[in-house]
C-alpha cells in the first residue's frame, strides 16, 4: 500500500451518513484492494452530538460546524450528506472547494440551484464534485450517462426518480385507494420529506432531472426551466381508466433537446403497462437513457435508503481514491451551453377524460373541437351513464400540446361538458 490514505470529512450523520460510516468500517480491506490505498474517515459533523447513532464514531474528530470540518487539514474529501440547498450545506461545500478539497455530495437541491457556480469554482481549483448519490439512489446512473454512454449523442432521458411518488401511485393502483388515503398513510410511515411537497410536488425529482439533463446535453443546470406538476391531482378514476386502456400513470421525468430548445418536464404521464416503466412498482427507481448509437438503456434499482445511497457515495469516494477525475458535469463547466428553455412541444398521444351531458350529439361536438384543433382520435370509449352524465375517454394520435390545449379551450363552448376535462400526456417508451 504505497499511496497515502484518502481522508474523508463526513458532514451529516443521518441515515446516509451512518451508511457511509458502516461501509468504510466494514469494507476497509475490500476498498483498499480495489483502490490501492486506504480510505479512512478522520472527522465528522452533525447538529446533535449526543444523539444515539447506530455506528462507532469514537475514532473520529468531531466538528460542530460543517465549515470547520470542510476546511480541516486532515480532510482530503468533503462528503456532504446533510441536505438543504442553502445555509450550512452550501457554505461548507464552497469552503471545502476554496480549501482545495474534493467534494462528494448526495445533495440534489444544492446542485440543481448552484451546480454551475460550484462546478466553476471546483474546476478553477482543480478539484472535483461528484454526486452519484444525488440521483436515483443506488443506481449508478450519473456514471452510466457521463461515462458509459459518452460516445452517444443523447436523444432523451427519462426516469421515475421519486420513490415516494411511485409508492403512492402503485398503492392507489393496486388497492383502489384515493390519493389522500395513500398520502396520509405514507406520511405516517415516514416515507415523505418534512415538506411533503418536495416529493409529491415533483420538486425533488425535478432537481434530479435537471442534473441528468445537464450531463446528457452539455448544458448548464437549469432547474427553473423544468415544467413541474405533482401527483396531487392524479385520481383513482384516471388510474383505473388508464389501466383499462393498457397504461399506467407515473410521475415521469423527461428531458430532450429539440430544435426549439431543451424540454424538461416532471409530470404525471401515461406509459404502456407492459413497458419496464409501466411495470415499476413501489419505491423502486428507474432511469431510461436513449443514445443515438446505443439505443435504449434501462437502469432499475433502489432510489433511497441507507445502503443504496451510501453505496453511491462510496462509488464516488472510490473513484477519487483511484484517481478517476472528471469535470462535474462531464465536460468543463465553462463549456456548458446556456440552454434555451422550451415549453414541451414534442408531439405525443394524449389521454383525455371528460364527462359529457347525456344529450344527442354531445360526443360529435367534442370530436369536432378536436378535429378543428388538428387533433385526431386513436381510441374512444364511452362508459355506462352515471345518472344524466356519460364518462368519455379519448386517446388521441400524436398531437402537440398547444393543439390539445386549443381543443380543450373549444370544449367549453359546446355546452355539453360537465366539469373540467383531464388531459395527461402519453409518453412513448
Residue 132 burial (CB count, 10 A): 27
* The one among 6, 8, 11, 31 contacting its own copies by CB under 8 A: 31
Please report whether residue 5 would count as binding its own copies according to CB under 8 A: no
| Spatial distance between the Cα atoms of 145 and 132, rounded to a whole number of angstroms | 11
Cβ-based nearer residue to its own copies, 136 or 362: 136
Number of residues that bind its own copies (CB under 8 A): 59
Tell which residue, 130, 76, 134, has the closest CA to residue 326.
130
**Which residues 227-266 are close enough to bind its own copies by CB under 8 A?**
none
Contact 105, 129 (CB under 8 A): yes
SS3 at position 353:
strand
* The one among 302, 339, 349, 421 contacting its own copies by CB under 8 A: 302
Cβ-based nearer residue to its own copies, 186 or 304: 304
| Spatial distance between the Cα atoms of 85 and 317, rounded to a whole number of angstroms | 21
Please report whether residue 80 would count as binding its own copies according to CB under 8 A: no
* The one among 87, 151, 246, 409 contacting its own copies by CB under 8 A: 151
Cα end-to-end distance, the chain, whole Å: 48
Mask: binding to its own copies, 40-69, rule CB under 8 A, as x and -? ------------------------------
Residue 160 burial (CB count, 10 A): 26
Tell which residue, 107, 105, 401, 85, has the closest CA to residue 265.
401
Please report whether residue 380 would count as binding its own copies according to CB under 8 A: no
Contact 362, 369 (CB under 8 A): no
| Spatial distance between the Cα atoms of 5 and 8, rounded to a whole number of angstroms | 10
* The one among 1, 25, 36, 371 contacting its own copies by CB under 8 A: 36
C-alpha cell at 269: 404521464
Please report whether residue 428 would count as binding its own copies according to CB under 8 A: no
* The one among 5, 196, 276, 391 contacting its own copies by CB under 8 A: 276
Q: Enumerate the active-site residues.
A: 208
Cα 124-310-125 angle, rounded to 5 deg: 5
Please report whether residue 273 would count as binding its own copies according to CB under 8 A: no
Cβ-based nearer residue to its own copies, 36 or 87: 36
**Residues of this chain that bind its own copies (CB under 8 A):** 19, 23, 27, 30-31, 33-36, 132, 138-140, 143-144, 147-153, 218, 274, 276, 279, 291-302, 305, 307-308, 310-315, 317-319, 322-326, 330-332, 335
Amino acid at each position: 500500500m504505497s499511496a497515502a490514505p484518502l481522508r474523508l470529512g463526513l458532514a451529516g450523520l443521518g441515515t446516509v451518513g451512518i451508511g457511509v460510516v458502516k461501509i468504510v468500517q466494514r469494507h476497509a480491506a475490500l476498498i483498499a484492494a480495489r483502490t490501492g490505498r486506504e480510505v479512512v474517515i478522520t472527522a465528522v459533523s452533525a447538529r446533535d452530538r449526543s444523539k444515539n447513532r447506530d455506528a462507532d464514531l469514537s475514532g473520529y474528530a468531531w466538528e460542530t460546524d460543517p465549515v470547520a470540518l470542510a476546511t480541516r487539514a486532515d480532510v482530503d474529501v468533503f462528503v456532504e450528506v446533510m441536505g438543504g440547498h442553502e445555509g450550512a450545506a452550501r457554505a461548507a461545500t464552497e469552503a471545502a472547494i476554496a480549501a482545495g478539497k474534493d467534494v462528494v455530495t448526495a445533495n440534489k437541491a444544492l446542485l440543481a440551484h448552484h451546480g454551475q457556480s460550484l462546478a466553476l469554482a471546483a474546476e478553477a481549483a482543480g478539484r472535483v464534485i461528484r454526486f452519484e448519490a444525488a440521483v436515483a439512489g443506488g443506481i449508478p446512473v450519473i456514471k452510466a450517462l457521463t461515462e458509459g454512454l459518452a460516445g452517444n449523442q443523447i436523444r432523451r432521458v427519462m426516469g421515475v426518480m421519486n420513490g415516494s411518488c411511485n409508492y403512492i401511485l402503485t398503492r392507489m393502483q393496486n388497492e383502489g385507494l384515493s390519493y389522500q388515503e395513500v398520502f396520509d398513510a405514507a406520511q405516517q410511515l415516514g416515507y415523505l420529506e418534512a415538506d411533503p411537497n418536495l416529493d409529491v410536488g415533483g420538486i425533488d425529482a425535478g432537481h434530479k432531472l435537471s442534473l441528468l439533463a445537464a450531463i446528457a446535453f452539455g448544458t448548464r443546470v437549469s432547474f427553473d426551466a423544468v415544467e413541474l406538476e405533482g401527483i396531487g391531482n392524479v385520481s383513482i378514476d384516471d388510474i383505473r381508466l388508464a389501466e383499462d386502456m393498457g397504461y399506467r400513470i407515473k410521475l415521469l421525468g423527461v428531458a430532450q433537446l429539440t430544435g426549439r430548445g431543451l424540454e424538461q418536464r416532471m409530470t404525471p404521464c401515461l406509459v404502456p403497462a407492459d413497458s419496464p416503466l409501466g411495470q415499476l412498482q413501489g419505491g423502486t427507481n428507474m432511469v431510461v437513457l436513449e443514445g443515438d448509437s446505443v439505443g435504449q438503456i434501462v437502469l432499475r434499482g433502489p432510489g433511497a435508503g441507507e445502503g443504496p445511497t451510501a453505496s453511491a457515495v462510496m462509488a464516488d469516494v472510490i473513484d477519487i481514491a483511484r484517481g478517476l477525475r472528471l469535470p462535474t458535469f462531464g465536460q468543463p463547466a465553462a463549456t456548458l451551453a446556456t440552454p434555451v428553455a422550451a415549453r414541451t412541444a414534442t408531439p405525443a398521444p394524449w389521454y383525455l377524460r371528460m364527462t359529457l351531458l347525456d344529450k344527442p350529439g354531445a360526443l360529435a361536438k367534442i370530436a369536432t373541437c378536436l378535429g378543428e384543433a388538428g387533433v385526431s382520435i386513436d381510441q374512444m370509449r364511452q362508459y355506462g351513464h352515471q345518472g344524466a352524465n356519460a364518462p368519455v375517454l379519448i386517446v388521441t394520435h400524436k398531437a402537440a400540446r398547444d393543439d390539445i390545449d386549443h381543443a380543450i379551450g373549444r370544449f367549453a363552448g359546446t355546452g355539453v361538458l360537465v366539469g373540467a376535462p383531464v388531459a395527461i400526456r402519453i409518453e412513448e417508451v
